[in-house]
Amino acid sequence: MLTNGAFDPTRSGYVFNIQRYTLHDGPGIRTMVFLNGCPLRCRWCSNPESQHLLPELALNAKKCIGRDECGACLRACSPGAITRSEEDGKIRIDRLRCNLCFDCAAECPSEGLHVFGTLRSVDEVMSAVEADGIFFGRSGGGLTLSGGEPLVQSEFALSLLREAKLRRIDTAIETCGYVDWPVLRDAARLSNTVFFDIKCLNAAKHKEFTGVDNSVILANLRTLVSEFPQLAITVRTPLIPGFNDSVEDISAVIGLVSGLPGVRYELLPYHRLGTPKYEYLGREYPLGAAALDPATELTIKKLAKQFSDSRHFKKEDSLWSNCLSQS
């Protein structure tokens, strides 16, 4: 949305996905709105398209019809950034020459070329969310903001939360915690539920694998719990083999959560479902094609046994219920 010819971040922002009928990101049936932008660069990130604030051009070669059969993108690309490889005949993008006009994606009939991120207004997003209102009322569900880090686009995110409240829609946010405290505070005031990632307590390891120190994150979590004692807060840890999948690492996080009254805890399994997106975006997967395997059943069983009696775990969580039934 433009105000006097200028972009108004309180009324519009970049959204790369709206996912309906989700069940694990807040109470009831949720509609998740994924906002562009993230201050972290986690090596295992399953949504690399979320990292940059502005839209990105992606190429899924498996959907490409081919130059000889189609060639629409070549004709549409005025800077000549799209070419045909002499080696295999496939379409390539010279991302240094690309001016991000996205004319090629608009002309691609197979959606082999597509754009991650669209400028959407608050009203557009809320109309999409409100279309699922019948499911919210029956299940206690609502809107969940995610990313990326939704609070990177702080003004837009707060406007969405505020508008949802005006429409009596339950609100939740998923945050990495690496944001200015006043922004997180304002978001918490407008949220019924906060999911807060704590990936690792070892500061050096955290910076090595995510690109940022964890001191701001930990300080924000403690302040959030202190200032919002009635807020439903769940700490989440993605279980990443070779990074934080030891009993020592998880014990450290449990020790932190144990000192925070009312906070619940979820351990999330690692997966590689997002790795093809790196190829679409012309990037290397930071961990390498075979650098990590999903957490082994033995590791999960070991951790489940160790922490199954903790009052912080959500026993209904599928990961833990499955682990406990098998251990």
pLDDT in tens, 78-106: 999 998 877 777 888 999 999 999 999 99
The reported pLDDT for the residue numbered 304 is 66
CA distances from 279 to 59, 100, 276, 283 (A): 8, 18, 5, 6
The domain defined by 56-116 folds into Alpha-Beta Plaits (3.30.70)
The reported pLDDT for the residue numbered 121 is 96
**Does 291 have pLDDT greater than 80?**
no
CATH of span 2-53+117-326: 3.20.20.70
Average pLDDT over residues 254-282: 88
Mean pLDDT score of the chain, rounded to an integer?
Answer: 87
Q: Tokens at residue 93, please?
A: 């993008």
The reported pLDDT for the residue numbered 325 is 38
Average pLDDT over residues 230-255: 89
**Does 289 have pLDDT greater than 60?**
no
The residue that leads in pLDDT, 141 or 294, is 141
Q: For residue 250, name the pLDDT band (cuts at 50, 70, 90).
A: confident
Residue 8's DSSP bridge partners are none
Q: Tell me the three state secondary structure of residue 142.
A: strand
Best-predicted range by mean pLDDT (180-184, 239-243, 278-282, 292-296): 180-184
Lowest mean pLDDT: which of 42-51, 155-164, 272-281? 272-281
The reported pLDDT for the residue numbered 267 is 84
Please report which residue ranges of the chain form alpha helices under DSSP H. 72-76, 103-107, 122-130, 133-139, 154-166, 181-189, 203-210, 215-227, 247-258, 275-280, 297-307, 318-326
Give residue limits of the domains in the chain.
Answer: 2-53+117-326, 56-116
Q: Tell me the three state secondary structure of residue 39.
A: coil
Q: For residue 7, name the pLDDT band (cuts at 50, 70, 90).
A: confident
